[in-house]
Structure 1
Amino acid sequence: MARRRTAFGAGALLLVCLTGCGGAPMTEPTPFEPAPAQPTPTRAPFQATTRGPIAPTGEPVAVPAARWDAIVADLAERGVTGTPELVSAHAVTWNNGALGCPSPGVSYTQAIVDGMRVVVEVDGTTYDYRFGTTDSPKLCTR
């Protein structure tokens, strides 16, 4: 008999607990009303453009001998035989490790890099070199 009372008490307690979990009564769903039509934008959509050559930025600076020697060596490795003439040399703060000349599919450090841009000309051909914090040149061929 004690088992029946315990079972009955447990069942009643369970029923009271489950009744307390009931939510608000269900209501009929409201019919879907579409949002009002938005006006057509009057400006053109965003379009990517290909950047042209970057004009010199920053202050003009003298090219350190180590960097000039690195440029001459790089030109020689590329088979350029003429004597390079300095067109411009400017201190530049680059936005990231690409030094303003990213290559597709390559990841770069996302930190500001103080460096320089050195443009030289050899036999009528212009070469745009970029330097970060080291004396290793990066030829920008865009």
Structure 2
Amino acid sequence: MTRREEAKGSARPPSRAGSREPVGVPRAASTPGMPVVPGEARWAAIVQDLAGRGVTATPTLVEATAVTWPDGSLGCPRPGFSYTQAIVEGLRVIVEAGGATYDYRFGRGDVPRLCRR
């Protein structure tokens, strides 16, 4: 079963092959650009955010990648906002739900930021 199939229809994030436990988010030492699996808290936060936006379809994990963001905008600056000018280790998680694609960004915490471009 692929990670994408494993995540489909589940409120839990997919796990690595051979393991039933979700894999945690990478530490700062993780290689940027490396595929990862979002931790359970981050997956739950995405599901909750989508529900708050009225999305009733079950999200499917498309891609999750470790990223080193150049600043606090997490690669998705909003006009009129100021951001910390420090490197932020984080995660980019792309999910699909109800035929739409959602691009979520995480810094060090478990609060998702939906990137709309």
- Asked if TM exceeds 0.5, the reply is yes
Give unpaired runs (5+ residues) of structure 1: 1-56
**Structure with the larger strand share:** 2
- Return 5+ residue gaps in structure 2 as ranges: 1-31
**Counterpart position of 1:92:** 67
Q: Does residue 66 in structure 1 map to residue 56 in structure 2?
A: no
The aligned residue for residue 124 of structure 1 is: 99
Structure 1 stretches of 4+ moved >4 Å:
none
Work out whether residues 55 and 98 of structure 2, in 8 Å CA contact, stay in contact via their aligned partners in 1: no
- For the aligned residue pairs, the C-alpha RMSD in angstroms reads 0.8
Greater helix percent: which structure? Answer: 1
Deviation of the 1:58 alpha carbon: 0.6
Q: Equivalent residue for 1:52? A: none
Give, in whole Å, the separation in 2 of the partners of 1:72 and 1:124. Answer: 15
Q: Secondary structure of the equivalent of 2:37?
A: coil
Aligned residues: percent identity? 66
TM-score by length of 2: 0.72
**Larger relative contact order (C-alpha < 8 A, sep ≥ 6)?**
2
TM-score of the pair, normalised by structure 1: 0.60
Compare CA radii of gyration and give the structure with the larger one: 1
Q: How many residues align?
A: 86
Secondary structure of the 2:94 match is strand
Q: How far is 1:115 from its partner?
A: 0.1
What is the letter of the counterpart of residue 113 of structure 2? K
- Offset, 1:124: 1.1
